[in-house]
Amino acid sequence: MKKLLAFLMAGAIGAGAALAQAPAEPAGSFAAGENAFMLNGEPFVVKAAELHYPRIPAEYWEHRIEMCKALGMNTVCLYVFWNIHEPREGEFDFSGNNDIRKFCELAQKHGMYVIVRPGPYVCAEWEMGGLPWWLLKKEDIRLREQDPYFMERVNLFMEQVGKQLGDMTISKGGPIIMVQVENEYGSYGVDKPYVSAIRDIVKKNGFDDVALFQCDWSSNFENNGLDDLVWTMNFGTGANIDEQFRRLKELRPDAPLMCSEFWSGWFDKWGANHETRTADDMVAGIDEMLSKGISFSLYMTHGGTSWGHWAGANSPGFAPDVTSYDYDAPINEYGQPTPKYYLLRNTLQKYSDKKLPSVPKNKPVVAVKPFELTKYAPISAGVRRTVESTDMATMESLDMGWGSMIYTTALPALPAGSMLSINDPHDFAQVFIDGEYIGKVDRVKNEKTLILPAVKEGAKLEILIEAMGRINFGRAIKDFKGITDGVAVSYSSPQGHAVKYDLKNWRIDLIPDDYEVGVEALSRGIEAKAGERGYYKGTFKVNKPGDTFLDMSAWGKGQVWVNGHPLGRFWKIGPQQTLYMPGCWLNKGENEIIVLDVVGPEALSVEGLTTPKLDDLNLEKTNLHNNPGDCPDLNSATPAAAGAFSSGNGWQTVTFAAPAKGRYLAIQALSTQAGGEAAIAEIYALDANGQRLSREPWTAKYANSENDAQGNHTADKVYDLQESTYWATVPGVAAPHLIVIDLGSEQTVTGVEYLPRAEQGAPGSIKDYKIYLY
Ligand code: GLA
Ligand code: CA
């Protein structure tokens, strides 16, 4: 009967079912019962596959859902990405690739339940964590707090989500069994009234008859936990699972357990190694959870691609995410099963009483022979609007969401060696004087200054700034683009006086990153040659459309569109060198490609490969923090604290006997609990009041050893706000180990909080330590 209804429903979808029409399945029920979730009155273990509809071409949605089903999952889990649905204030779009209702209907058609996570904030390595950029037009807005304007807009958005999905809850015959309230609020703040307000908004917009839950980390979920919601934990491959649920079990001994994000792999950032997580460890984690009746959602089961400008950036610091969201997930970026998939499928088969459906066929993959882009137009041809402004203005204040800007003004006479300070460049600035390239100022490297040659009074200063994704994690999500504050030049006069000019009277050119802008610029194009900044266009032939991977390794930095589809950002520093080109967006015969390269290509050629290159780092300078000149001499220094940590998982606090002052925090590991390498997952420094100091200005100054051969375990991982990532030394390098953090400015520190690795036995945990401030 159920099958027949599903079949009838599929027919209705094909015929273009009216939006508000109630799904045809009989009503069911889902709730958190005693020690188990109850589905239609029976205990039920949620095995959810996280996948994101805007990261998959709509043409492939059904294939990917079937892949999840064949893997042994019974549910799909998805975020709703506010900013893709409301590109401009009040203009909503739920069509085509944004058609969440269709996505959920497809899941139901294949007998899959659905977990919806409508935010409003979602994180997800997505531009601004899913929040629309235009919120920043209200400069003093408080995001993810009870700011009246923020809450008003959340309300309006949730109303739309309710219209799309509110009649698809299980009790109304739809597939939706759970709906999430906010997202990991514990890593943002402590604010139960705000989280309660979001709960009420979600409830009132169609979700008052469905299990509502909130997810967080085991270390912080109590801060914002509401009594009437289901609580779930997020943690990654390798985590000590009993330890992750220990506190929750104490507080709610009879609650069913669920890991709402079990991280199968991890995301990649420009300029850092490709991330992977071992298949065996991932599967062991799932096996352990299932053996204990614990529900889970595997984040990601299929990661897909952050097309166009939708990739976000991590913080503290500024670490923009690459375009691929492969995530080292069981189903790779282009929808194919990996060895991880088959290993996991075997395990999920063990816990299923039915034989799993066979694995769907792969989408075809094709090669495209090398071809050249032949037409060119300079970046200035993309200027859509110019404004004059005495003071600096951000992109948002000038009503643009994404793209590049050129800030132009006249310089005073300057002696050689003067310093240009850009406060702050968001994100990648290139500086020109009288048309000549002087250098770049890259936010990823925390750069803000550039040394200038001598210039004559009135010389033309141009700063070309390309914005990357807005930060999606932590307090820094309020990430304005362009130049956020001001630009100054300074030098010391021959008499030794400091001379400084705050530059004023700007001409600001706005270059949106829309496809149409490139098309229009190129309509006035000329013959292309390599090495120029600007738009390039070419065509290529495909006999049989299929998935392919466009090799951009000859190109500098920018974005690509094929047949009008934005494929995303490329950057020669890697690790991603190819862009996924889905076959469903290619034509048989001729195809158009447009590239915007803000740095300039070395050659004009592109080709389509049959496998992606996601692991090819091409840095000018190493990522490691091992410059001997940065290593302090601590021999005669007095430690602020010395002692031994205890063994095991979880946070430990060291309180100094007396407050210590310094800009640099050095932690020496004299020995480890198990011998062998040392590791630290997270570090906080405590201020004079015993509160955690903000880690936003922190940078890694020095580490004697960093394991970047097996993963990404550089020193910056100790303050990246992620408990599952860690600094680790290279196996075989003997203690003592040293890590030094630059706190950004001199601070008074009264103690340190230390978190060892989250895995069973806390591998690499430190025993004897000395802590210094200098
Ligand atoms: C958190 C967030 C997710 C995602 C993962 C990392 O768990 O909730 O949206 O950002 O981290 O991939
Ligand atoms: Ca970390």
Backbone angles phi, psi at 715, to 5 degrees: -60, -30
Name residue, tokens 């000149």: 629
Ligand 1 pocket check: which of 52, 123, 473 to mutate, most ligand atoms within 8 Å of Cβ?
123
Backbone angles phi, psi at 758, to 5 degrees: -80, -5
Q: What pLDDT does residue 533 have?
A: 98
Read off the pLDDT of residues 675-721 as tens digits, 9 standing for 90 and up: 999 999 999 999 999 999 999 899 999 999 999 887 789 999 999 98
Nearest ligand 1 atom, CA 122: 9
Cα–Cα dist 173/22, whole Å: 8
Q: Does residue 412 contact residue 434 with C-beta atoms inside 8 Å?
A: no
DSSP string for residues in 156-214: HHHHHHHHHHGGGBGGGTSSEEEEE-SS-GGGT---HHHHHHHHHHHHHTT-SSSEEEE
Name residue, tokens 């240009």: 420
Q: Is 234 in the pocket of ligand 1 (CB under 6 A)?
A: yes
- Closest C-alpha among 727, 722, 715, 718 to residue 763: 727
- Report the b/e string of 82-120 with b at 16+ CB within 10 A: bbbbbeeeeebebeebbbbbbbbbbbbbbebbbbbbbbb
Cα–Cα dist 189/191, whole Å: 6
3-state secondary structure at position 143: coil
Q: Does residue 650 contact residue 243 with C-beta atoms inside 8 Å?
A: yes
Q: Is 261 in the pocket of ligand 1 (CB under 6 A)?
A: yes
Q: Is 123 in the pocket of ligand 1 (CB under 6 A)?
A: yes
Q: Is 332 in the pocket of ligand 1 (CB under 6 A)?
A: no
Confidence of residue 24 (pLDDT cuts 50, 70, 90): low
Cα–Cα dist 437/423, whole Å: 20
Nearest ligand 1 atom, CA 129: 9
**Taking residues 438-463, what's their average pLDDT?**
96
Read off the pLDDT of residues 311-359 as tens digits, 9 standing for 90 and up: 999 988 899 999 999 999 999 999 999 999 999 999 999 999 999 999 9
CA 720 to ligand 2 centroid distance, Å: 5
Confidence of residue 13 (pLDDT cuts 50, 70, 90): very low
Q: What pLDDT does residue 17 have?
A: 39
Q: Is 311 in the pocket of ligand 1 (CB under 6 A)?
A: no
CA 740 to ligand 1 centroid distance, Å: 27
Backbone angles phi, psi at 719, to 5 degrees: -130, 30
Q: What pLDDT does residue 7 have?
A: 35
Which residues have a Cβ under 8 Å from the Cβ of 621 and sit 6 or more positions away? none
| Rg for the chain, CA atoms, rounded | 27
Q: How many CA atoms within 13 Å lie on the side-chain side of 136?
A: 25
- Closest C-alpha among 300, 217, 212 to residue 259: 217
Name residue, tokens 């008003």: 152
Q: Does residue 492 contact residue 499 with C-beta atoms inside 8 Å?
A: yes
CA 380 to ligand 2 centroid distance, Å: 41
Q: Does residue 543 contact residue 396 with C-beta atoms inside 8 Å?
A: no
Q: What pLDDT does residue 629 have?
A: 85
**Taking residues 295-309, what's their average pLDDT?**
98
Residue 321: cis peptide before it, omega within 30 degrees of 0? no
Confidence of residue 662 (pLDDT cuts 50, 70, 90): very high
pLDDT at 459 over 80: yes
Cα–Cα dist 13/220, whole Å: 42
Q: Does residue 752 contact residue 652 with C-beta atoms inside 8 Å?
A: no
Which of the two residues, 721 and 182, has the higher pLDDT score? 182
Nearest ligand 1 atom, CA 266: 12
Which residues have a Cβ under 8 Å from the Cβ of 364 and sit 6 or more positions away? 544, 546, 547, 583
Q: Is 300 in the pocket of ligand 1 (CB under 6 A)?
A: no
Token pair for residue 435?
């048309």
pLDDT at 16 over 70: no
Read off the pLDDT of residues 413-422 as tens digits, 9 standing for 90 and up: 999 999 999 9
Backbone angles phi, psi at 466, to 5 degrees: -105, 125
Backbone angles phi, psi at 444, to 5 degrees: -60, -35
pLDDT at 14 over 50: no
Residue 120: cis peptide before it, omega within 30 degrees of 0? yes
Q: Residue whose CA is closest, atom 9 of ligand 1?
A: 124
Read off the pLDDT of residues 740-759 as tens digits, 9 standing for 90 and up: 999 999 999 999 999 999 99
Q: What pLDDT does residue 10 have?
A: 36
Beta bridge partners of 660: 749
pLDDT at 393 over 50: yes
Nearest ligand 1 atom, CA 183: 8
Percent of the chain beyond pLDDT 70? 97
Strand intervals (E) in 524-588? 526-527, 534-542, 548-551, 557-562, 565-571, 578-581
Which chain residues have CB less than 5 Å from ligand 2, an ion?
A: 681-682, 717, 720, 722, 725
Which residues have a Cβ under 8 Å from the Cβ of 742 and sit 6 or more positions away? 663, 664, 698, 699, 700, 701
Read off the pLDDT of residues 55-83 as tens digits, 9 standing for 90 and up: 999 999 999 999 999 999 999 999 999 99
Q: Does residue 676 contact residue 455 with C-beta atoms inside 8 Å?
A: no
- Closest C-alpha among 595, 592, 605, 535 to residue 570: 595
**Taking residues 655-677, what's their average pLDDT?**
96
pLDDT at 630 over 60: yes
First-to-final CA distance of the chain: 73
Q: Residue whose CA is closest, atom 11 of ligand 1?
A: 124
State the pTM of this model.
Answer: 0.91
The total number of residues written for the chain in this structure: 774
CA 123 to ligand 1 centroid distance, Å: 6
Percent of the chain beyond pLDDT 90? 92
Helices 100-109 and 148-165 pack at an angle, to 10 degrees, of: 40
Nearest ligand 1 atom, CA 261: 7
Q: What pLDDT does residue 9 have?
A: 38
Least confidently predicted of 98-102, 216-220, 628-632, 636-640: 628-632
Cα–Cα dist 90/97, whole Å: 19
Name residue, tokens 């447009």: 594
Cα–Cα dist 634/738, whole Å: 10
CA 219 to ligand 2 centroid distance, Å: 13
Ligand 1 pocket check: which of 126, 261, 300, 470 to mutate, most ligand atoms within 8 Å of Cβ?
261
Which ligand number lies closest to the CA of residue 721?
2
Confidence of residue 439 (pLDDT cuts 50, 70, 90): very high
CA 726 to ligand 2 centroid distance, Å: 5
Q: What pLDDT does residue 255 have?
A: 98
Token pair for residue 235?
């943690």
Cα–Cα dist 499/301, whole Å: 57
CA 683 to ligand 2 centroid distance, Å: 8
Host H or E run for residue 654: strand 652-669
Cα–Cα dist 313/478, whole Å: 12
Q: Is 328 in the pocket of ligand 1 (CB under 6 A)?
A: no
Token pair for residue 394?
């951000």
Token pair for residue 528?
């292309």
Which ligand number lies closest to the CA of residue 726?
2
Read off the pLDDT of residues 92-127 as tens digits, 9 standing for 90 and up: 999 999 999 999 999 999 999 999 999 999 999 999
pLDDT at 622 over 90: no
Q: What pLDDT does residue 6 have?
A: 38
3-state secondary structure at position 316: coil
Q: Residue whose CA is closest, atom 10 of ligand 1?
A: 124
CA 342 to ligand 2 centroid distance, Å: 30
Token pair for residue 78?
């998805």
CA angle centred on 270, ends 264 and 274, rounded to 5°: 40
Q: What pLDDT does residue 20 have?
A: 47
Looking only at the bridges linking them, the beta strands covering 682-686 and 548-551 are unpaired
Which residues have a Cβ under 8 Å from the Cβ of 19 and sit 6 or more positions away? 101, 163, 164
Q: What residue type is assigned to position 131 of the chain?
A: L
Q: Is 183 in the pocket of ligand 1 (CB under 6 A)?
A: yes
Dihedral sign from CA coordinates of 403, 395, 131, 697: positive
Residue 436, burial from CB neighbour count under 10 angstroms (0-12, 13-18, 19+): exposed
Catalytic residues: 184, 261
Residue 736: cis peptide before it, omega within 30 degrees of 0? yes
